[in-house]
Structure 1
Amino acid sequence: MITGGTSGIGFAIAERFLQEGASSIILVGRSQKRLEAAAASLQSPEKVQVLVGDVSEAGSWVRELEKEMTNVDILVNSAGISISNILPRYEPEDISKILRTNLEGAIFTSRALMRAAIRSRVRNRNAIDGETRPASKCIINVSSLLALKAGTGAVPYAASKAGVLGLTRSLAVEASASLKDVFIRSNAIVPGYIETPMVSDFTPSEVERLKNQIPLHRFGIPEEVADAAVFLASNEYANNCVLNLDGGLSAV
């Protein structure tokens, strides 16, 4: 299941997972039209399901979310919004929307996966060989370099993405401590500036300034983030693994 899977990083991850042989993909987004268009443009569209829902309001449709999670092995929390402004000029509703989408949405979807995994374990308890360790499930949270490196005009966004890293760490420990015979790994990707719709509104001078700061002198592309998602999903020892993909900007 991939939230925010209709464009940018989420779409690239969906595309790559299908190339890697995923049996099915569930794209989650707010627009039925955009979801259907994204599904149609993916390889093997017959393997793609869509789920219409706003993760910023996931608490109101959590039961449906949990039902859809029944057979989900990998959850990618990629949904995110950013509204650029300095903090004194932010409208309160914009701050709340950013926090609900970027952080609360990831919390609710992670909760749904854990609850579905618990129910599945109970249903299949008698069918599981007690000596066989079941394959783990994996949560991949998409954070941001702004969670670690200060910037201007994105205080609520930076706070929400820093919260995503806290969520990642806490889940890695709590899932092990509290879930018997259920193995859920929690990891994060920390992208820098990636060629997505989120940076499309940057002015040419801003793009040039940022690229001059990045040691590789370019923005990343979504496919490079998808590479990291494949690693985190497939490596069974990756837990609380945080991958920086920023072209070296975090070192500056």
Structure 2
Amino acid sequence: MLTNKVCIVTGAAQGIGRCIAETFAKHEAKMVFVCDMNASAMQDLAQTYTNVRTVELNVCDRPSITHFIDQVNAEYGTVDVLVNNAGITRDNLIDKMAEDEWDLVADVNLKGVFNMTQAVAPLMMASGEGSIITMSSVVGTDGNIGQTNYAATKGGVIAMTKGWAKEFSRKGAQVRANCIAPGFVETPMTVDLPEKVLDFMKAKTPLKRMGKPQDIANGALFLASDNASFITGQTLKIDGGLVI
């Protein structure tokens, strides 16, 4: 499905990002650049797949991003798929949330997405096509207690994506921008939650289970592929019916 496509996945060291990177590699992408601040955690991916290359990258470091994208452009001439997956949480009730908790989440989850997209989108527009996929969340569409910062950033990337869908195609380029909004997913971030919390999450979900990283990766694969060539500016909820 991704034959001859050059892909970049941020936040690829674990969880959803790692699963997306593996899925892209298995579906014959020309190259998948897996990016994360923890490069050592991705080395096994590069050892397993000949079409995976690891990159130590901080999405808040604009000079490093520019250098990386320049290198990709010099070698491949374009980027076909960008998955903005890097993200963090620093949860707290509004009256207890520290300014640095707000700032860090905003820098990574919102400005980090802006940084990567600003670097990659001109290459896509020059080549005439591309797919930008950004991880939002059901928290970004419907909110959640104690996640003011996270909700703001995940709602913000949806708004940016809608603008990009219009902006990047205005001169005829087939550059698509979409979001994925996962619900409760089994990741390293949720594995240590108390059993009663996990049971509560499952009970709230109509399909009565938590999602798997592969559920999200399958959605990303679809949006990255030519099968989604007429889809842009949308938010795909993969949440087991949690938000209807």
- The normalised TM-score by structure 2 is 0.89
Whether the 8 Å contact between 1:165 and 1:188 is mirrored in structure 2 is: yes
CA shift digits 1:189-235 (9 cap, x unpaired): 11001111222342221111111111111100010111111111112
Give the AA of the match of 1:66: I
Task: Write the mapping of 1:100-119 to structure 2, written as runs, cut at 5 A.
Answer: 100-117=107-124
* Cα offset, 1:241, TM superposition: 2.4
Mapping of residues 39-58 of structure 1, within 5 Å: 39-40=46-47, 42=48, 44=49, 46-55=50-59, 57-58=60-61
The yes-or-no answer on 1:33 pairing with 2:26 is: no
1:145 is matched with which residue: 125, 138, 143? 138
* Identity rate, percent: 30
Look up the equivalent residue of 1:61 and give its one-letter code.
S
TM-score (norm 1): 0.86
Instruction: Choose 1 or 2 for highest CA Rg.
Output: 1
How far apart, in 1, do the equivalents of 2:207 and 2:150 lie? 25
C-alpha RMSD over aligned residues: 1.7
Alpha-carbon distance between aligned partners in 1 of 2:141 and 2:105, rounded to the nearest angstrom: 18
Q: Name the counterpart of 1:65.
A: 68
Deviation of the 1:158 alpha carbon = 0.8
**Contact 1:69–1:116 at 8 Å: present in 2 too?**
no
1:160 aligns with 2:153: yes
Structure 2 unaligned spans of 5+: 1-7
3-state SS of paired residue (1:86): coil
Structure 2 counterpart of 1:160, which letter?
T
1:77 aligned onto 2:84: yes
What amino acid is the match of 2:117?
Answer: S
1:120-139, aligned counterparts within 5 Å?
A: 121=127, 134=128, 136-139=129-132
Between the two proteins, the alignment pairs up a number of residues equal to: 231
Within 2, Cα distance between the matches of 1:5 and 1:194? 16
Q: Equivalent of 2:224, from 221, 230, 233?
A: 233
Can you give the 5+ residue segments of structure 1 that lack an aligned partner in the other structure? 122-133
For residues 234 and 188 of structure 2, the distance between their equivalents in structure 1, rounded to whole angstroms, comes to: 26
